[in-house]
A and B are shown apart, each in its own frame.
Chain A
Amino acid sequence: MKKYIFLIVLFLGIVFEGFAQNTVSGVVTNYESEPLVGVTVVIDGTLTGVTTDADGRYSLDVNQNDVLVFSFVGMITQKVVYKGQKEINVNMISDNYNLDDVVVVGYGTSKRSDLTGSVSSVKVNDLKNTKVGLLGNALQGMASGVQVTQTNLKPGGSVSVVIRGKGSVNAGNGPLVIIDGVPGGFDQIATADIESIEILKDASAASIYGNRGSNGVILITSKKGVAGKTKVSFTAQGGVMNMVNKMDMMSAQQYYDLINSEGIEYTWKRDELLQLSRGETTDWQAAISEQGKFQNYNASVSGGSEKSSNYLGLDYYDMDGIIKNSNYNRITLRFNNDSKLNDWAHMGFRLNVLESKIKNINEETHELYGTIFSAVSAQPTAPIYGSDGEYFDGFLNTKANPVAMVDLLDKSTKVTHITGSFFVEFTPVKHLSIKTNNAATLHFAITDIYENPRMGQHYATEGVANITSSKSRYWQSENTITYDNKFGDHKIKAMVGVSASKSEAESSFAQAKGVDSVTKYYNLGGGSEFGPNSSSASASTLTSTYMRANYNYKDRYLATFTMRADGSSRFAPGHRWGYFPSLALAWRITEEDFMKSADYIDNLKLRVSAGMLGNQNIGNYLYQALVSEGGQHFNYVLNGVLYTGAAYSSIGNTNLTWEKSKQLDIALDYGFFGNRVAGSIDYYYKQSTDLLWNVTLPLESGYQSSYTNVGVLENKGIEFSLNTININKYNFQWTSTLNFTYNRNEVIELYDGKTDYNKQIFVGHSLNEFYMLESDGIWQLEEAAEAAVYGALPGDRKIVDNYEDNQINSDDRVFCGQSNPSYYGGLTNTFKYKDFDLVVFVTYAGGYKVRNSLLRFTNSYNTKGNSSVDYYNNYWRADRPSNKYPAPRIGSSYLNGDGTDAILEDGTYARIKNLELGYTLPKRWTKLLKATSLRAYFSVQNVYTFTKYTGYDIEASAQSNPYPGSRAFIGGISINF
């Protein structure tokens, strides 16, 4: 009965509502929950409508079942049926292919629709997926063709970015990074100050950068003030990090048992036996690690008038790593100004000042003595402190005490980086603009190191302190003239420019021994022994002219011709100028009349580009015969007196030239269903020639080697990107972004007809292919006779005799996979429900092997220290035959698997890198704070990694001393006024 009454009331209500005209109001916001001003709201099929005000608010009289249509340039139109709601708040999202987007290209900008080259734009909002780490980390998984590898997971650790495969062996593979027109690095700008990032991947896009462009170019543009209301933003985020995938090492008791039961000769230290008796195990990994902490604050003020606009950004980043005493902090100040001088001239300046400090532990390069390796391999029987109260100092292989190292090793690098630039742009006549952009950079770095002798064996018994100090200076002047006009269906845009730049660097190194632990590097004069001391200086210049011509016919047929001539001081006089042309053609198929009827196809653009680029990263003065002075190889004794000597140390090569890269790109940009499905697919081919190589010379020449240009390297691949809007309701949206890259790298030619270089690089194979012995488990008891042929015993590691000559040696090596992922990419899913948003960001890579050097120690018994629990439980014993790990027989061949594929692991992984839930406070609450928006969020970084890799972190260095990975729990708040 109650149900009936309810239905009747409901029916009456609907009828009543159906005939009444009501007022509906609400707020229209973008994805970032910022109010959208000027959104058109009309009732479908009528001309009745309003636009949203400065707060994104609208109010409209509607009837029941009217359909409200919300539309805005660059946004996907949203339709909502009025069912009597009092308030309809609408989220609008950008379409996936906004033709009118302005894209920054080298020395200018372009409308996205006019692009002919391969340019990936990174959505700045997506950079927030990476909260811990520098900008380079944030690019991972963001764009197809861009492979980002973390080379060091320490706070402030750097990344390696490779665009479209490695095109060089010895001259670097990193792209040219340009920040507001000035060459820079990922650690030189705060992520929050970035307006846009464009990645120039093909020859057409990058050839405007000539002999610096062959590895691709990343253009970063900082935010600038916009005329209108002054906008103040504040973001605070912080959190904690915990080590993931800690190595499971043997306990003291297991370690003792293994050594005793296997009759291994071992010199026990008293403190070890005391610790064993106490039943204690030192968890060295826990002892050197702690819960990491992270905080990042960013404040910005932007605004201005039609005459002048400013952007002021202040960013503070501080991270305590999960290994004690590792820290990175950085403060960045940015001030950008744009001013209109008059109707035909405007100017602006950019200033970025950065101060950072990184506190290092002994990482990567300190393979067998580093902090992490020492902690992993330290005997679990060893106490942190000995009976005498000092740091225990009885580690195997003369390692230092890991805890002493994190407590006492003092190693920090302080950087000050200042970049300033100003430009003036004149428009003397219509369609013509003249721009001069002048910039300078100052970079100071000081590295202070004090090695406290209390750390133990590996370190000198007296304190050693040293200081490395460097300063570099760079200036450039870039001057361009741009002509942009339209003649009927013909649009022409041409730019010519000249530029000049100079880099200068100097550095010095001083060291003293016998320095006390109080004054350390602050008073090297307090030492008892000095040197070696050294200093150096270098300089290089680059003078260039360049031009770019764009032709556009009816917005259907596009052509771009680019040409750059670079004159670099790095090459011999007469060989300095290089010319780098490129041509790109594009056909916007959807602009053709015959495509007009296919209204579900919004965009189809076919692009083809080809060109040549260069890589001049060969080092300064390399073409010259160099003279070395001083030191043990050059000094000489005459009549019992030591004289400083000098001699040629390298042979000159005036023919030395830049590495060349011929590139071809064939691509299709697509957009379907109102650009709800959009993306592009590229095929690229990149042939690198004239590779810089230190070729071995016959010793009778008097030199061991000479730099020359030889060899051919090839990269080809497919890139695919897909952006979809899966669900787009006014209060619920689901969007996805997927990118995928497949790359095949192959060495085509070496030199002198060689098929391999030191058995490390092979013609016909990837540049980084493993060529190793093939392991095949463990020799078993019943195979004793066969094992004896190879001088092995049951329990030893079995190596496949591929050469079939009854001996195991380097002839038995085979190819075991490559170290570069053959495919990689990222997947982002974003959900927005009313005021909540959820992001799931996944990165992945596969088709490669990782040389997990630490396995040499964890998965075998070794004289360096502890092994893994897995080894303890699974090593071969006569009474417990195992095919997994060899018996702990010191001296047996290939015991630790070094040189064999036993230390290779499948690197394929998929990582949930960010899981983030955000909540934007309703307007009525933010209003109380006089804020325009306030979002709080919680993010888990590095949530989970699906991989077979057993090391600390698939992205950590594969060396035996990697900085471990961590999972971060981060909370944050961002507020705009």
Chain B
Amino acid sequence: MNKFLLILLVLPFFIGCEKEDEVTIVTGDVVAPILKDVSMPSQSSTVPGAEVYVSGVGFSEEDVISCTSLEGEANFIASVVSADDYGITIEIPDEAGGEYEVSVTRANLTTILDEHLKVAFVFSVDNLSVPASVLGGETIAISGDGFESGDQLVFKADHYPDGLSFTVNTTLTSDGLSVTVPAGCYGVNNLSFIRGKRICVAGSTAVPVDVGDQLGGGTVFYTSDDGAHGLIVATENVAEKLPFGVSVKIDPYASGTTQDIYAGKTNTENLVQGIISYRSDGNAAETSVAELCDNYSFDVDGYVYEDWFLGSLQEMVELFNYRATLVDPIALVSKNNYWTSTVNSTTVWAWAYYYVNFYEITNLVTGRANATNWSIAARPIRQF
């Protein structure tokens, strides 16, 4: 009995002291990487050889980022540069291009991301030098390292109609290559080289024109910057005898116009927006001459010029001035008064809309007309 009790006394010492401190981290099954709010970088910034940031929460520097091409290109594993709380920075290999499915592998478990990585098809040319200004039909030299035989050069400009660009073949030279500037180019052109699917952006060059040149759907009547920029008048009127439009309160519907050169485009946009919001406020309004010019289009060999507008007061004055120099001015612009897109912002109601008198040949007459009562002509112009 005594011994039994003694054992009872001693036993709890061992029980009591046996317990170790508890485990702080409880380990369960490892699962595939959990990633939230993943968003791929834009294609334009995802170029071969670049480091890009894939945003998303849950990336680790230990992650293996595998990219499987959906366009038949070679698959690759992107090296991880770093990972932080909001994403992971990876390196795009030089040979990458096109769309890839991306999977993230950690501890042999893989998560496939919903969004695809789109790598721009680009190639690079080091030490590239392009002449600042060239003439149509001229053969020019472009220097740079990394050109290949078969590379083509594309001339493209924002003022060309949709679908219109000029692609020419190149000839490799010791310094780079030589190329003939295609006829039909004008204004500031963006250049890019094409090699198969890949592209190399090569900056821009100016192709100057002269006043009187027939191009861009009409006649050049004004140039600046040594012919790199200018204005082109359409071959026809969009109205012969039409009020400007409904007499609307200038502010806010017709505000924000000026008289300046190159202001006609934004003037027209403002006037069109003004009439749209005037209508959306429940008012009725006929199509205004600003809208007619804005909607005007002109087809040249299947390419449609759609960027017409109603010229500002100064632009229409320049048209008048150029017309005055012509032998047959009436052939360019018929006799009439012509609306401009300049509105006098200090005048509240109808007598606010500037016009230019093209009845005159050399004597410049301009003034403000009543937008609803005056019915005169309108001629669209465009700029480059």
Q: Which of A269, A270, A281, A290 has the most CB of B within 10 A?
A: A270
B368 contacts chain A at the CB level, 8 A cutoff: no
Is the CB–CB distance between A277 and B33 below 8 Å?
yes
Nearest CB on A from B15, distance (A): 7
**Assembly CA distance A289 to B21 (angstroms):** 8
Q: Count of chain B residues with Cβ under 8 Å from any Cβ of A?
A: 41
Give Cα A281 to B26, complex, Å.
5
Tell me what chain A mostly uses at the interface: helix, strand, loop, or mixed: mixed
Interface pair B25/A277, CB less than 8 Å apart: no
Cα A253 to Cα B58 in complex, Å, equals: 15
Chain B contacts for A970, CB-based, 8 A: 16
A971 in contact with B13 given A277-B107, A279-B30, A280-B27 (CB within 8 Å): yes
B36 x A268 contact (CB < 8 A)? yes
- Distance, CA A577 to CA B88, complexed state (A): 79
Inter-subunit contact A919/B9 (CB<8 Å): yes
Let me know if B215 is at the binding interface, CB within 8 A: no
> Does chain B have a CB within 8 A of A286?
yes
B24 touches A273 (CB 8 A): no
Interface size on A, residues (CB 8 A): 42
Which of A239, A251, A940 lies in contact with B28, CB distance below 8 A?
A251
Q: Is the CB of B33 within 8 A of A279?
A: no
A279 touches B28 (CB 8 A): yes
* Residues in B neighbouring A918, C-beta threshold 8 A: 9
B355 interface residue per 8 A CB criterion: no
Contact A242 B19 (CB under 8 A): yes
B19 close to A273 (CB less than 8 A): no
- Cα separation A918 to B22 with both chains bound (whole Å): 30
Q: Does A834 contact B (CB under 8 A)?
A: yes
- Which residue from B27, B35, B57, B59 sits with its C-beta under 8 Å from A279? B27
Q: Mark B40-69, 1 if CB is under 8 A from A, else 0.
A: 000000000000000001111000000000
A277 near B34 with CB under 8 A, answer yes
**A273, B57: Cβ atoms under 8 Å?**
yes
Q: How far is the CA of A936 from the CA of B5 in the complex (A)?
A: 12
> How many angstroms from the CA of A274 to the CA of B35 in the assembled complex?
9
Q: What residues of chain B lie closer than 8 Å to A252, measured between beta carbons?
A: 28
Name the B residues within 8 Å of A969 (CB-CB): 12-13, 15-17
A281 to B25 CA separation, bound complex (whole angstroms): 6
Q: State whether A277 touches B30 (Cβ < 8 A).
A: yes
A938 contacts which of B13, B33, B106 (Cβ < 8 Å)?
A: B13
Tell me if B2 counts as interface (CB < 8 A to partner A).
yes
A722 interface residue per 8 A CB criterion:
no
Question: Residue of B at shortest CB range from A915?
Answer: B12
Among A240, A277, A970, A971, which residue has the most Cβ atoms of chain B within 10 A? A277
User: Hey, which chain A residues are within 8 Å of B331, CB to CB?
Assistant: none
Flag whether B132 is at the interface (Cβ < 8 A). no
A946 is an interface residue with CB less than 8 A from chain B = no
Query: How many whole Å from B89's CB to the nearest CB in chain A?
Result: 14
Contact check, A936 vs B12: say whether CB atoms are below 8 A apart. Answer: no
Within 8 A of B (CB), among A259-282: 268-271, 273-274, 276-282
Assess whether A278 is in contact with B30, with CB atoms less than 8 Å apart.
yes
The answer to whether B107 touches A270 (Cβ under 8 A) is no
* Residues on A with beta carbons closer than 8 Å to the beta carbon of B2: 834-836
- Cα of A919 to Cα of B5 in the assembled complex, Å: 9
CB distance from A406 to the nearest CB of B (A): 12
Asked, given contacts A274-B58, A276-B34, whether A281 binds B13 with beta carbons under 8 Å apart, the answer is: no
Task: Report yes or no: B36 in contact with A273, Cβ–Cβ below 8 A.
Answer: yes
Tell me if A283 and B23 are in contact (CB < 8 A): yes
Nearest CB of chain B from residue A452's CB, rounded to whole Å: 21
Given A270-B85, A919-B9, decide whether A280 and B26 contact each other with a Cβ distance below 8 A: yes
Residues in chain B near residue A287, CB distance under 8 A: 24
Identify which of residues 321-366 in chain B touch chain A, using a CB-to-CB cut-off of 8 Å.
none
The CA-CA distance from A290 to B86 in the complex, in Å, is 35
Judge whether B8 is part of the interface by a CB distance below 8 angstroms: yes
Proximity bits, A76-87, B CB within 8 Å = 1, else 0: 000000000000
8 A-B interface contacts by CB (under 8 A):
A270-B86, A273-B57, A281-B28, A384-B25, A836-B2, A836-B5, A918-B9, A937-B9
* Chain A residues with a Cβ under 8 A of chain B: 239-240, 242, 251-253, 256, 268-271, 273-274, 276-283, 286-287, 289-291, 384, 387, 833-836, 917-919, 936-938, 940, 969-971
Residues of B bordering A, CB below 8 Å: 1-2, 5-6, 8-10, 12-13, 15-17, 19-36, 57-60, 83-86, 106-107, 109
5 more contacts with CB within 8 A, not counting A270-B86, A277-B31, A834-B2, are: A253-B28, A277-B60, A281-B26, A289-B21, A290-B21
